[in-house]
Amino acid sequence: MEHLKDFKKVKFEGKDSKNPLSFKFYDSEKIILGKKMKEHLPFAMSWWHTLGANGADMFGRGTIDKSFGEAPATMEHAKAKVDFGFEFMSKLGIEYFCFHDVDLVPESDDINITNQRLDEISDYILVKMKETGIKCLWGTANMFSNPRFMNGAGSTNSVNVYAFAAAQIKKALDITVKLGGKGYVFWGGREGYETLLNTDVKFELDNIARLMKMAVTYGRKIGFKGDFYIEPKPKEPMKHQYDYDAATAIGFLRQYGLDKDFKMNIEANHATLAGHTFEHELRISAINGMLGSIDANEGDPNLGWDVDRFPVDVYSATYAMLEVIKAGGLTGGFNFDAKNRRPSNTIEDMLQAYILGMDTFALGLIKAAEIIEDGRIDAFIKDKYSSFNSELGQKILNNSTSLEELAEHAYKLKDANDPGSGRQEYLESVVNQILFK
């Protein structure tokens, strides 16, 4: 039987190292664009996948032993998860973790008992945090696994279930504040619907917003200074999820006056499910001042669901890091909402998965910085819009012209044929040249 203690701390050995348990690209202290790599990339461990997911799928039971030597659904097991988790993060140099309430402790049939367990485990976690310096990135309440949430949490038809959702959020916020979490996430796992035949969409959206408002009020009251996040996802488990993508979620937040307290937590795999690229979701968030945090994972082009692979695609990571750098960084971090494949069932595989993900984002960072320093792509974009430097262009940008004046301009020209080439293939070849130099 493998033990985590038998593995050494993972170190940076450079791109030529053949040691599987070393970083090839992630060099935490290395300075890129004036900042340490680890400051650009505040990585976080997801409690649920790392300490919970055992490889089970719809067709078969678990393949990965996550008992950590204890009986399931006991507080001993919950503590063993803490012990393993902190040792695991320390081995990898990961400085943050993220959790759902029910990842931390077994859920009782009585919420009062679950809450006592949460008090106990958070005391235990706090000690480990002090010992190691590891911090909490964000917390959340799981309002999707328990059958009571089958018709939704904030979007439920049941007042009692709605109150349960409120109680879980209240406690999850308490624990997040107690652990000094930087953020609090809403991922609306059951906030959506299957058919309009049984759904009042307006009623449900209004109620979700009411619940979020109460969460903000309570959070601020108990001293939570961080960001609330919405994590958009278009589908799965629901057919239509209300937080389809960043643009939809931002519109929702503005409509209900929640935009000052919320930002986006963008998950790569959710972006692809929405038919977007990861970088599209990051850009939409950033230009709205709402780029908060990232759930770093990856989909699979052949599989249309949330497979939560560890990130491997260097193009995607590079384009994502371009967005993050240009936005001035994240207020949150990079949470690996990712899990090992079912047949990768050893502790070494778990370490390997994080090494892969961290190296992929390190490469993305290095390459994004090189693209910025190279300057050809930025120069192209600047030049592309340069006709707006003209007198008429400036009038448009200053909102000091009219449809009539622009029409007069067009009539004088008779025809306009000068938009110029988009040069996509050239720009893509610049990226390849930098990626593989």
- The one among 103, 323, 337, 359 contacting ligand XLS by CB under 6 A: 337
* Closest approach of ligand XLS to the CB of residue 136, in Å: 14
**Taking CB under 6 A as the rule, does residue 227 contact ligand XLS?**
no
- The one among 27, 191, 231, 279 contacting ligand XLS by CB under 6 A: 231
Decide the pairing of beta strands 192-193 and 35-36.
unpaired
Sign of torsion over alpha carbons 103, 109, 114, 115: positive
| Tokens 């619907």, residue located | 193
Which among ligand XLS, Ni ion, none contacts residue 243 (Cβ within 5 to 8 A by kind)?
Answer: none
Q: What's the N-to-C CA distance of the chain in angstroms?
A: 43
Size of the site for Ni ion (CB under 5 A): 4
**Taking CB under 5 A as the rule, does residue 204 contact Ni ion?**
no
C-alpha distances in Å from residue 97, one per residue of 53, 119, 124, 188, 269: 16, 18, 15, 20, 19
- The one among 27, 103, 337, 359 contacting Ni ion by CB under 5 A: 337
Is 83 an active-site residue? no
Q: Which amino acid is at 108?
A: S
| Residue of 40, 49, 100, 276 with catalytic role | 100
Q: Which is nearer to Ni ion, 155 or 293 (CB)?
A: 293
| Residue of 27, 103, 227, 243 with catalytic role | 103
**Taking CB under 5 A as the rule, does residue 267 contact Ni ion?**
yes
Measured between alpha carbons, how far is 378 from 423 in angstroms, rounded to an integer?
13
Which among Ni ion, ligand XLS, none contacts residue 261 (Cβ within 5 to 8 A by kind)?
Answer: none
**Taking CB under 5 A as the rule, does residue 107 contact Ni ion?**
no
Is 103 an active-site residue? yes
| Tokens 């968030």, residue located | 285
- The one among 84, 162, 187, 334 contacting ligand XLS by CB under 6 A: 187
C-alpha distances in Å from residue 284, one per residue of 52, 179, 263, 288: 32, 31, 11, 6
Which among Ni ion, ligand XLS, none contacts residue 140 (Cβ within 5 to 8 A by kind)?
Answer: ligand XLS
Q: Which is nearer to ligand XLS, 100 or 280 (CB)?
A: 100
Q: Which is nearer to ligand XLS, 140 or 431 (CB)?
A: 140
Burial class (CB in 10 A: 0-12, 13-18, 19+), 50: buried
Window 293-322: contact mask with ligand XLS (x via CB under 6 A): --x----------x----------------
The footprint of Ni ion on residues 277-296 (CB under 5 A) is 295
Which among Ni ion, ligand XLS, none contacts residue 281 (Cβ within 5 to 8 A by kind)?
Answer: none
Q: Which is nearer to ligand XLS, 10 or 208 (CB)?
A: 208
By annotation, the residues acting in catalysis are: 100, 103
Residues in contact with ligand XLS by CB under 6 A are 100, 140, 185, 187, 231, 233, 267, 295, 306, 337
Residues in contact with Ni ion by CB under 5 A are 267, 295, 306, 337
